[in-house]
Structure 1
Amino acid sequence: MKNNPLIEGVSDAVGFVGGALLGFWIGRLIGWDIFAPGYGNASIGGIVLVGFGGGLGLQLARRWRSRQNSNKE
């Protein structure tokens, strides 16, 4: 079955943004602020968490979509 591009785009966006926000808030909880002035260790750690969270959220969205497609077949 052919994938719907709208569903792919929306699910990827939701997964990425949701994961990035989760990474951002985890970073804030442990004291890593991505918006801190300069590029200190806490700022870099926060940036890494946001990137990691976004990538993880995107992968989870794609696995969810893949599981949904396999259930249809």
Structure 2
Amino acid sequence: MANIKFEIIEKIGTVSEGAKGWKKELNLISWNEREPKYDLRDWDEANEKMGKGVTLTKEELIRLKEILNGLDLA
């Protein structure tokens, strides 16, 4: 498997933390030296190992926010 280069540009927030210390985080990340995108996935404590996640452009994140704002979660 090829090495994937990444740089966490901005740590936006932690959504949850698992029993083994892994955290589900929303970050702004540059993958393989490309334009940064918003990324939601699990990370180990040192941000060296990662789980599967989803990467979104700014436009996709805005649309997701609109969808979430429309939910009745009460």
Which of the pair has more CA radius of gyration?
1
The structure carrying a bigger helix percent of its residues is 1
The structure carrying a bigger strand percent of its residues is 2
TM beyond 0.5: no
TM-score scaled by length of structure 1: 0.30
TM-score scaled by length of structure 2: 0.30
